[in-house]
A and B are shown apart, each in its own frame.
Chain A
Amino acid sequence: MSDANTRRPATSHADTSDTAQAVTSEAAAAARAAYDAAFAASPVRTDVDFETLSGIPLEPVYGDAPFPGQYPYTRGVYASMYRSKLWTMRMFAGFGTAEDTNARFKELLRAGGTGLSTAFDMPTLMGRDSDNEWAVGEVGRAGVAIDTLADMEDLFADIDLGSVSTSMTINGPAPILLAMYVAVAEGTGVPRKALAGTIQNDILKEYQAQKEYIFPPRPSMRIITDMMRFTSAEMPKWHPVSISGYHIREAGSTAVQELAFTLANGFAYVEAAMATGLPIDEFAPRLSFFFNSHSDFFEEIGKFRAARRIWARWMKERYGAEQERSLLLRFHTQTAGVSLTAQQPEINIARVAMQALAGVLGGTQSLHTDSFDEALALPTEKAARIALRTQQLVAYETGAANVADPLGGSHFVEWMTDEMERRAEEIFEHLDDLGDGSILEGVYRGIDNGYFTGSIADAAYRFEREVNSGRRIIVGVNEFTEGDERSSNLLSIGQDTEDLQLKRLSTVKQARSDAEVAAALTRLQVDARDANTNLMPGFIDAVKVHATEGEIVAALEDVFGTYVEQVIV
């Protein structure tokens, strides 16, 4: 570990570029043969013919080694890419009560969605119950309200958790929601080991960008490493952390900052888990990533390709991963909510389509497309369907899924990929120095000294100034502004959601045993004081006796403290 911490992967531009690498013809032939063998061993979709609209047959890949599925995976993590399986069309949904969201989930599954993705309301994300004074006005508004196991049971009612994969976007209270998911599944006879999905659980970017933190960074990292150990042992199909650049970008960062901060956070989780004695090859294969796909088409594609290459190289060279699966950066993509305009909102459909295409050309494993009305309110059902249809257009009509890494070998795309990597490496070097040879410590210090929040705010301000001065044109906002007719058909969440949820919470509290709840909370506090005890079993027992999310969080705040951010403008 200490040896690993002093090594930094080779960063020189010239010798890291795939295409610039001189490969002998023998090596090239061997790489080709290896690719052909890997492709032959992959399942291939039989529902479509891999040919152009005019009937021209297409190879699975074009160009030179290294091919998709070959180190450093710039061209993709799998040899066959979308010929084996299209990306998961995972639409994020959540609003109102658990029953409301359950209905939306079923609608999305009926419409051909292949994975569920849950948006929680602000009080849930912050670990506050619906009856907390801070929750007033926010219950069920920007996502679904979950207070107790009973809400979670409603959320997934009549959905077979053994056959869907579920993503839950929650961070501070992530272990509580994971505990509830396990409890719901086991209550319906699905064993925890059969559960597939992802919980975001990326606390570092909360301090940097999204600001949904609860405890200070170090105890939060302890919780996350507990979850990594728990899922590693008991939930082999679960991804315990989705290392997320999405929110960093939405908060105003550049593409390079998104790339570098996200991967640095990834290195930090790796170092934290290794420090608890977990072997890297035991947890690394289940780390996954989540990126933004913004409007600068080629910059985004370069970012995705660079991300794979950087991750593979660091995992292998700095952290000593040996299993191939530990080297693979697999990621979810969401189109850039922040790029959507309230002005002429229908043109957002076109923005989203291009951003979605960039994600696919960049080799994403799953994709959420934003609804065109999201700059105005939560999406209506119709807008959400159009967004899903947009992905289906990319998948079935554009031909973009026929060939792996179709832009590989383009002079510009290869240059952009190299440039993204070079600029990201400069940031890693800064963090490595900040942390005296540890990226984890560098990230902690960068959170403390405002490096992340400050550089993101600088980038956001620069962008705004460019738009204000007219140097950067946003169609419909500072140019081409005629024809702005706001959509009047918006989803609105009324006060009755809050009333319903409060009633629900009070009913659950009356029906449970307060003595059992108190015992479960005390046990969690005892566990929390002992760094060698894994907190997950205590969380599962607490949710099963219907301790509320807010009660569990409050019990742990007594032990871990509450994080308050230093105000930086």
Chain B
Amino acid sequence: MTGASVTGAEPSPDPTEATDAEPSDLTPIRIVLAKLGLDGHDRGIKVVARLMRDAGFEVVYLGLRQTVDMVVAAVEQEDADAIGISMLNGGHLTLAPRMVEAVRTAGLDVPVIIGGIVPDADIAKLLEAGVAAVLTPGTPAEELVRVVRGAVSGA
């Protein structure tokens, strides 16, 4: 599966509304977004894909039911700067460290950002496991953009 590139592909639903975050003057950051495992909750990641696109990111959304190897392959193929994984099924403690490990094993220096329902107590564990940042529901768009930019420049 090659995924859907949403880079500037379609207008936002209401072009009269101002974007929440201004596009950057710098080289656009390319991020691969994916859902790992069987979790089918894709509302959040689709919204994030559009918000990031509006903020000037190049977004490659791979879709549902991806494996860590599929994500790594996409990152290599797209020469992506960051990985965003959405998890709402409670499997983050198992799957997120595997994602980080797969990225390291492939010799990539690409931050892994987790978004979704992650209890506070687990956030520290994920960061310890090498996840660059964890974004939970209700994170404002500007914060999302700031965190991803920070993770990329810190990588």
Contact = CB atoms under 8 A, between A and B. Distances in A.
B40 A486 contact: no
Contact of A375 (B13, B18, B51, B137): B137
Nearest to B144: A468
A483 to B, nearest CB: 15
Interface residues of A, number: 50
A342 B136 contact: yes
A187 interface: no
Nearest to A253: B43
A461 B47 contact: yes
B56 to A, nearest CB: 16
B90 interface: yes
Interface residues of B, number: 43
A378 interface: yes
Most B-side CB within 10 Å, residue of A141, A210, A212: A141
A460 interface: yes
Contacts of A343: 138
A137 B37 contact: yes
A338 B12 CA distance: 23
A376 B137 CA distance: 9
Interface of B (DSSP majority class): loop
Interface stretch (B76-84, B101-109, B117-125, B146-154): B117-125
Interface in A121-146: 122-123, 125-126, 128, 134-138, 141-142
Q: Is the interface of A mostly helix, strand, loop or mixed?
A: loop
A461 B94 contact: no
A567 B20 contact: no
B88 to A, nearest CB: 8
B18 to A, nearest CB: 8
Given A461-B50, A468-B20, A567-B62, A486 B120 contact: yes
A1 to B, nearest CB: 34
12 contacts: A142-B89, A212-B40, A251-B42, A341-B138, A375-B117, A457-B43, A468-B20, A468-B140, A469-B17, A474-B138, A478-B140, A565-B64
Closest 9 CB pairs of A and B: A137-B94, A211-B40, A137-B91, A567-B63, A141-B90, A567-B4, A122-B38, A569-B6, A477-B138
Interface of A: 122-123, 125-126, 128, 134-138, 141-142, 210-212, 250-252, 338, 341-343, 375-378, 456-458, 460-462, 464-465, 468-469, 474, 477-478, 486, 488, 490, 492-493, 495, 564-565, 567-569
